[in-house]
Amino acid sequence: MLAFWARSVVYGIVVAAVLLLTLPSLRTGQLVTDATLAQFEPEASLLSYNYAVRRASPAVVNIYTRRYSSENRLQLNAEGLGSGVIMSDKGYIVTNYHVVARADQIIVALQDGRISTAQLVGKDQRTDLAVVKIDLDSLPVIPFNESYDPAVGDVVLAIGNPYNLGQTTTFGIISATGRPGMSFNRQQDFLQTDAAINKGNSGGALVNSRGELVGINTASFQQATDTDTYGISFAIPYSLTVKIMQKLIADGRVIRGYIGVEGREVNPVMARLLDAEQLRGVLVASTEPNGPADRSGLKVNDLIIEIDNQPIGSFRSALDVVADNRPGSKVPFKVIREGQPLELLVTIGEEPTL
């Protein structure tokens, strides 16, 4: 027994000696604590987007819609929910078309506890945007930065009212820009983000890390296509949102120019076949019979290189320039026809309603 205790004491002394040699801090009575580790990172700070949320969130509202009962025209039933963004201290709020399209009554709830009925100013199905107006004082307005250009990799926050849980913020990055192909709008470019956008987030704000408006949340890929996917959501860019909002406030609807053509982008092979030096432009594939383009003299296989003194590089850009012109205006078109330059004045028509 004595030999056993002697061996234990010797082993203990050996282990202690090894520890003292390998861990010098033990010789001065120091322990490695959180405070000790912190001295190696004196500039370390907590990464937070609280500032951005505090700037933007007061201007993001909850929107509730109600419809009259088909059995009782005096009874209003809850219809749906969504979000909106206060864009002006005059009470103009932007939301999604699909949030308010079928509503008989629109109710807006602010984050400060105030509640108000809203008047529908106008709606536009093509861009999935709508404008409503409330009559309240001292309204918080979402911060803007017109010089901000969204880029892939930028951090963004989606703020809204998912599933009526109350205001919620989700986090992600801009995954892509200029995304077309949504089921409800094949013509529109969207911002793609992996920030979660769920039912009720529609119409809410997508903001950057400074709390500035980047876009209006509209849908997730799953909502639009019934495909089981995650991390693919879409927002309507700020620049388009403001342009559509101003048109809805002015006219109650978006009046778009229209010429009635189908076209495709030119490529070098097509340019050689057309004997055209330009390697850009839009080739007219077809014209609507007796449509604005047809009546103005545009023909199939004309190569459109300029509209209203603006160079044209894609069919999308051609549509955008035409759409920005009021119906009835005469707009100069520069085309290449059978290898020869030609200028036409095209009278813009009004785009048919969807």
| DSSP per-residue codes, 69-85 | -SS-TT-EEEEEEEEEE
Please name the residues in contact with 20: beta carbons below 8 A apart, sequence gap of 6 or more: 26, 27
> Is 226 a catalytic site residue?
no
The candidate with the shortest Cα–Cα distance to 202, out of 230, 174, 226, 224, is 224
Compute the distance between CA of residue 330 and CA of residue 259 in angstroms, rounded to an integer. Answer: 11
Q: Which of 83, 98, 124, 220 is catalytic?
A: 98
Token pair, residue 330, equals 């005469």
Compute the distance between CA of residue 136 and CA of residue 117 in angstroms, rounded to an integer. Answer: 10
Q: Which of 202, 220, 233, 296 is catalytic?
A: 202
Three-class SS of residue 348? coil
> Is 251 a catalytic site residue?
no
* Cβ atoms of 85 and 94 closer than 8 Å: yes
Q: In this structure, how many other beta carbons lie within 10 angstroms of the beta carbon of residue 285?
A: 12
Sign of the alpha-carbon dihedral angle for 192, 197, 202, 206:
negative
**Partner residues linked to 284 by β-bridges:** 263
The candidate with the shortest Cα–Cα distance to 125, out of 238, 260, 244, is 244
Token pair, residue 292, equals 């604005």
Token pair, residue 150, equals 């969204």
Q: Which of 57, 124, 128, 296 is catalytic?
A: 128
Compute the distance between CA of residue 12 and CA of residue 28 in angstroms, rounded to an integer. Answer: 20
Sign of the alpha-carbon dihedral angle for 315, 321, 327, 328:
negative
Compute the distance between CA of residue 199 and CA of residue 188 in angstroms, rounded to an integer. Answer: 21
Compute the distance between CA of residue 121 and CA of residue 92 in angstroms, rounded to an integer. Answer: 9
> Is 48 a catalytic site residue?
no
Cα distances from 293 to residues 219, 256, 262, 338, 349, in angstroms, run 35, 15, 10, 18, 9
The residues annotated with a catalytic role in the active site are 98, 128, 202
